[in-house]
């Protein structure tokens, strides 16, 4: 009996490590476009549900899309806006949001103006973009914790006007 239990435990441990390794390799075997679309699709699957605060919702979406392989890092205030702490699983785009290399499934961390005139952080996933504007999927924009697809910034200029400073945003992609 003892030998059977030991074999069963060792088998379970082996299966766990093989499945974790497969999930890790599977996520990283995807192209960047594939990873972006996995994040986009996971976010869309959560549309019109309760997501809570914006950043934890994005962290959950990335974790679910990657099979638990990737964790989105914490946010820090750098004095000019909000950025993410370093993570080897995250890359940052250094071009403007209207750049052709910014795609659906990428994540925008921004410092936006609230309805009361104050400024604060907001995190959203790019749902769609074209030459004139951008559509977000986000949680808690209205303060109710709900996930919604929002064509909030009708034009890129409107996006820039909603920021505390034109440079107070960062665009991230998940590796």
Q: How far apart are CA 16 and CA 126, in angstroms?
A: 34
The residue range of the domain holding 21 is 1-30
- Co-location of 23 and 74 in the same domain: no
User: What tens digit of pLDDT does each residue of 30-87 get?
Assistant: 999 999 999 999 999 999 999 999 999 999 999 999 999 999 999 988 766 788 999 9
Q: How many domains does the chain have?
A: 2
- Co-location of 19 and 103 in the same domain: no
- Co-location of 22 and 40 in the same domain: no
At 23, is the secondary structure helix, strand, or coil? Answer: helix
- Radius of gyration of the chain from its Cα atoms, rounded to whole angstroms: 19
- Co-location of 17 and 38 in the same domain: no
- What is the average per-residue pLDDT within 25-34? 92
- Co-location of 71 and 155 in the same domain: yes
Return the number of other C-beta atoms located less than 10 Å from residue 163's C-beta.
Answer: 18
Among the residue ranges 29-38, 57-66, 106-115, 146-155, the one predicted with the least confidence is 146-155
- Co-location of 6 and 77 in the same domain: no
pLDDT score for 4 = 45
CA 92 to chain centre: 12
Angle at 46 between CA 149 and CA 43, to 5 degrees: 65
Return the number of other C-beta atoms located less than 10 Å from residue 38's C-beta.
Answer: 20
- Co-location of 2 and 47 in the same domain: no
SS3 content of the chain, % helix, strand, coil (to 5): 35, 25, 40
Average pLDDT, the chain: 84
């Amino acid at each position: 009996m003892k030998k059977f239990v030991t074999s069963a435990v060792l088998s379970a441990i082996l299966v766990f490590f093989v499945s974790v390794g497969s999930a890790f390799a599977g996520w990283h075997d995807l192209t960047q476009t594939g990873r972006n679309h996995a994040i986009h699709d996971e976010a869309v699957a959560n549309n019109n549900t309760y997501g809570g605060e914006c950043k934890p919702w994005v962290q959950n979406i990335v974790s679910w899309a990657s099979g638990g392989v990737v964790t989105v890092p914490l946010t820090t205030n750098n004095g000019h806006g909000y950025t993410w702490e370093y993570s080897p699983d995250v890359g940052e785009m250094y071009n403007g949001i209207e750049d052709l290399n910014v795609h659906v499934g990428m994540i925008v961390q921004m410092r936006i103006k609230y309805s009361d005139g104050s400024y604060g952080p907001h995190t959203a996933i790019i749902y769609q973009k074209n030459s004139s504007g951008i559509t977000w999927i986000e949680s808690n924009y209205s303060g109710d914790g709900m996930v919604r697809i929002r064509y909030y910034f009708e034009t890129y200029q409107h996006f820039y006007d909603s920021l505390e400073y034109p440079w107070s945003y960062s665009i991230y992609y998940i590796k």
